[in-house]
Chain A
């Protein structure tokens, strides 16, 4: 098997081709080469910059394009539609659902001075596009490095004009906006051909060593709120109740007053009526009232002892103690 597959040089004979045929073949190859060198494709997010002998001649849109071959014209493709992201103070190792970040911190980039001569750690991203490929390629060498330099310088300039509190809390949005505007100004003046889409501040923190004390401030703030709220709730628990009780006390007094006056009026009226009749038949009424009262009292009282001046001797006959005990039961 292997034997037959081997190329047998002794059996090889050059094909019988005439000079004219050779010329056609050469021409054919040349034409093929010409075509092969002439066409190029540009991806949808790119434009092609065509250079003739190094001189910029035209832009090629996305799709199939042609150029002069053999080094006469060259193409550089620039992704103008792609949004590019630069990270400062951190690096994404692998983007995904759970994005991984580089473990070492880029303190050089993120640590900066604030206007009150404190320090803050600022991490941010900038998104941009290449809006002018001509400038991007031919006006600035290493436009990307230039862009990073600009961004770092501007971020520090803006942060340097703010207090550490502003940087950490209220000023974030405003800083991002100011930085964006300034970066764009510089990009234009350097003719980088870059258009800044967005600056986003990521983590803005006090330096690692100072962090606990910043947390302490937050805690103290919480504690303050807590103390005040506790006191307020105590107040709210006691005062409305006391108000209700006070109201009750007053209403009770009012009730008592009503009762007292009405009772007095009733008593007075009753007495007046009684007295009117009494005045008419003094003796009888007196007797009647006296006897009625005694009737009442007698029926109520447990033991009655009626003595006579003449029979004082009978008193010891009563077993006072026993009767007393019985009644006590």
Chain B
């Protein structure tokens, strides 16, 4: 009796439980949910995380991510305005801002990624083709810090051209143009940036060649600078040497000359007092010369007629 009553109650309880379980659903912190009834969206999107309810069986919960999502573009080979081929690799971050619209237009994330590919790649291509490469690479006209040692004499303006627009503005243009189009998909673009820009291989080889010749030029400049500087120093050395030597010679000769002159004057004053003194000087000097010039190697042939030996003949000397 009791057990017979119990069975339908149990069945009923089970059904109630199933209904509760199939009508309750959890919305995660990262999710937003669109309720659809037989595939048709019902009401506003649920963005508040926690437990929520829907009609069982007839209604479905469609979950969408609420976070910023990635979009990573394929590396595209794009020509710039100045006809250089570069690989451009972009990334973007986006968000499902209007899940209802998003659900209607692209259904799910995969659909959205495909549309984003179309939009972002296209806009990037347009933007890159509209500008010179340098505009995409550089973002400002900042003056480079110059290492005086290296760039000495090199013409900077030639290697570091000015830009008019710059990377920042170009990416913002792409972002603005793309945002306009993604809005219709219920997608908000947070940001879009160039991740990588690189030359395609053939261009790269040419760039490397240019870099090599540029380096060679700098190296040659160093070498010739070194040689020039060294030659200059050697020249300085020669000049300084000649100057020092000649100046010393001049000064020495001047001193010597002055001394000689003074000595001459002194001698002249002493010897040139009168005719007698001149004669005496002659005599004295001659005698002195005799003393100093004869040596034991010399022969002296004298006649007894001579003043000295005349006494040898006669004591009177006459």
Report A's interface with B, CB cutoff 8 A: 51-56, 108, 111-119, 137-142, 145-146, 149, 152-153, 156-157, 160-166, 169-171, 174, 186, 189-191, 206-207, 209-210, 213-214, 216-217, 219-221, 223-228, 230-232, 234-235, 238-239, 242-243, 245-247, 249-250, 252-254, 256-258, 260-261, 263-265, 267-269, 271-272, 274-275, 278-279, 286, 289-291, 293-294, 296-298, 300-309, 327-328
A-chain residues with CB within 8 Å of residue B309 when the two chains form the complex: 306
Contact pick for A116, options B50, B160, B215, B281, CB 8 Å: B160
Please indicate the chain B residues that have their CB under 8 angstroms from the CB of A138 in the complex: 29-30, 66-67
Interface residues in B151-203 (C-beta closer than 8 Å to A): 151, 156, 159-160, 167-168, 190-191, 193-199
Closest to A271 in B: B270
Q: For residue A139, give the distance in angstroms from its CB to the closest CB of chain B.
A: 6
For the complex formed, measure the closest distance between the CB of A173 and the CB atoms of chain B, giving whole angstroms: 11
Number of interface residues of B (CB under 8 A): 124
Assess the B29–A239 pair: CB atoms within 8 A.
no
A111 touches B212 (CB 8 A): no
Task: Give the CA-CA distance A113 to B87 in the complex, in Å.
Answer: 11
Is there contact, CB below 8 Å, between B160 and A300? Answer: no
CA distance A195 to B151 in the complex (A): 38
The 11 sampled A-B contact pairs (Cβ below 8 Å) are A53-B51, A174-B145, A213-B212, A220-B221, A245-B245, A250-B255, A293-B287, A294-B308, A298-B300, A302-B297, A304-B300
A141-B70, A161-B139 known, 6 other contacts, Cβ within 8 Å: A162-B144, A170-B147, A224-B226, A260-B260, A261-B263, A267-B270
> B72 → chain A, closest Cβ, in Å?
7
Which chain A residue shows the least CB distance to B265? A264
Write the chain A residue with the least CB distance to B293: A297
Q: Tell whether A54 pairs with B302 under 8 Å between CB atoms, given A160-B137, A252-B252.
A: no
Which listed residue (B190, B194, B259) contacts A258, Cβ 8 A? B259
Whether B15 is near chain A, meaning CB under 8 Å from some CB there, is: no
Q: Which residues on B sit within 8 Å (CB–CB) of A152? A: 195-196
| Residue in contact with A216 in the complex, picked from B197, B215, B249, CB distance below 8 Å | B215
From B68, B291, B300, A141 is in contact (CB under 8 Å) with: B68
| Nearest neighbor of B159 in chain A, beta-carbon distance | A116
Q: Does B267 contact A153, Cβ atoms closer than 8 Å? A: no
**CB within 8 Å for A301 and B248 given contacts A54-B50, A220-B219, A275-B277:** no
Instruction: List residues of B whose CB falls within 8 A of some A CB.
Output: 26-31, 48-51, 65-70, 72, 91, 93, 133-134, 137-140, 142, 144-147, 149-151, 156, 159-160, 167-168, 190-191, 193-199, 204, 207-208, 210-212, 214-216, 218-223, 225-227, 229-234, 236-237, 240-241, 244-245, 247-249, 251-253, 255-256, 258-260, 262-264, 266-267, 269-271, 273, 276-277, 280-281, 283-284, 287-288, 290-291, 294-305, 307-309, 312-313
- In Å, the complex CA distance between A141 and B30 comes to 9
Residues of A within 8 A of B248 (CB): 245-247, 249-250
Contact among A160, A169, A247 for B150, CB-based, below 8 A? A169
Cα distance, A268 to B270, chains bound together (Å): 5
Please, which residue of chain A has its CB at the minimum distance from the CB of B24? A53
Given A156-B196, A231-B234, A294-B308, answer yes or no on A264-B160 (Cβ-Cβ < 8 Å): no
Complex alpha-carbon distance, A252 and B30, angstroms: 101
Asked if A271 and B281 make an inter-chain contact with CB atoms under 8 angstroms apart, the answer reads yes
